[in-house]
Amino acid sequence: MMNRHTVYRVGNATITRVTDIVIDQFTPDRLFLNWNDYRDQLRPEWKLPGTMSPEGDRVLLSIHTWVIQHQGKVILVDTGSGNDKDRPHAPYFHHLKTDYLKRLAAVGVSPEDVDVVLTTHLHVDHVGWNTRLESGLWVPTFPNAKYFFSKLEHQYYNDPANHNERNRTSFQVQQDSVNPIVDAGLATHRRHRARERFHTLPYARTQSWTRLHCFSIRG
């Protein structure tokens, strides 16, 4: 587990990585096209700390939040996988019990301190801690925050016409990690303009393998 917090300073903003979980279930050839053709050329990077499992046969994938502290605001970019979520088709994320909130507290942030949650996209490993389970109900983890995410992506994953085997986990994610935020009145939908500003930080839509990747914060 990558418990050490990575910290960057960009201008007068402090950006800290807070880890939820690290997955070590995938071999490189499953994740990277033509891996076996290029593995020797990539060997120096392959052996960087935190890149591969101790045995050198599996990739370490960090699921984490970026905590941005800027001009008195606390902004979270993505919220990891979350605890207690039912993910039968994604076993790496099924009914997790992590110390994410303790790690967040270790960098000086309580759930009530968070002003904004920015979501890059609405996949299982990016929105899980939007909510937490209390008395059998999914409630916002960060009750004072505004949650920003793509309107088009949210509509896509809530449309029964798109409910198929490929999207089945993403549909579950909407039910326990996204729709409760909308129901609580904490959601603000983004409409994919080419470039906007947020709390004095510029950001833009980016190219990605997902349908509607929203945010690229640029200092």
Break the chain into its structural domains and give their ranges. 6-21+63-204
With contact defined as beta carbons under 8 Å apart, do 176 and 85 qualify?
yes
List the single range of 1-10, 60-69, 131-140 with lowest mean pLDDT. 1-10
When pLDDT is averaged across residues 205-210 and rounded to a whole number, the result is 56
Residue 218: pLDDT above 80? no
Q: Give the model confidence (pLDDT) of 7-51 as tens digits.
A: 999 888 999 999 999 999 899 888 888 888 877 776 666 667 788
Residue 216: pLDDT above 70? no
**Fold exhibited by the domain 6-21+63-204:** Metallo-beta-lactamase; Chain A (3.60.15)
Q: Give the model confidence (pLDDT) of 126-169 as tens digits.
A: 999 999 999 999 999 999 999 998 888 899 999 999 999 999 99
The H helix count followed by the E strand count for the chain is: 7, 11
Give the span between the Cα atoms of 23 and 53, in whole angstroms.
Answer: 10
Of the candidates 30, 55, 29, 54, which has an alpha carbon nearest to the alpha carbon of residue 42?
Answer: 29
Of the candidates 60, 93, 70, 88, which has an alpha carbon nearest to the alpha carbon of residue 16?
Answer: 70
**Looking at the chain, how many residues does it have?**
219
Give residue 1's pLDDT.
46
